[in-house]
Copies of this chain bind each other. A is one copy, B any other.
Amino acid sequence: MSSEVSSAGATRGRPRSDQVDQAILRAASALLSERGLDAMTIEDVAARAGVGKSSIYRRWPTKGTLALDAFLDAFLAQQPRVDNGALEDDLREALTLWSAAVVGTATGRALVGLIAESQLDEDLARGWIARVMTPVRAQHRTMVDRAMQRGEIPADSDVDVIMDLLYGAVYHRLLQGHLAITSEFIGLVARMVAEGAKSGAAVVR
In the complex, what distance in Å separates the CA atom of A125 from the CA atom of B38?
16
What does the 1/0 interface line of A167-189 toward B look like (CB < 8 Å)?
Answer: 11111110111110000110011
Q: Interface segment, A25-33, A40-48, A73-81, A112-120?
A: A112-120
- Say yes or no: B184 contacts A191, CB within 8 Å: no
A194 to chain B: closest residue by CB: B201
A87 at the interface (CB under 8 A from B): no
Copies of this chain present in the complex amount to: 4
A97 at the interface (CB under 8 A from B): no
Most chain B CB within 10 A, of A161, A184, A189, A197, is at: A161
Contacts A112-B119, A196-B195, A204-B188 known; A128 to B176 CB distance under 8 Å? yes
A82 at the interface (CB under 8 A from B): no
Contacts A192-B196, A201-B188 known; A164 to B175 CB distance under 8 Å? no
A169 to chain B: closest residue by CB: B168
Contacts A158-B188, A189-B161, A195-B199 known; A115 to B168 CB distance under 8 Å? no
- Say yes or no: B202 contacts A188, CB within 8 Å: yes
- Say yes or no: A199 contacts B199, CB within 8 Å: yes
- Say yes or no: B185 contacts A161, CB within 8 Å: yes
Contact pick for A169, options B164, B178, B204, CB 8 Å? B164
User: Could you name 10 residue pairs across A and B whose Cβ atoms are closer than 8 Å?
Assistant: A133-B176, A134-B178, A165-B193, A168-B171, A169-B169, A171-B175, A191-B196, A192-B202, A195-B201, A196-B201
- Say yes or no: B120 contacts A116, CB within 8 Å: yes
- Say yes or no: B192 contacts A161, CB within 8 Å: yes
A161 to chain B: closest residue by CB: B188
A1 at the interface (CB under 8 A from B): no
Which B residues touch A196, using CB under 8 A? 191-193, 195-196, 199, 201
A203 to chain B: closest residue by CB: B188
- Say yes or no: B164 contacts A173, CB within 8 Å: yes
In the complex, what distance in Å separates the CA atom of A161 from the CA atom of B173?
10
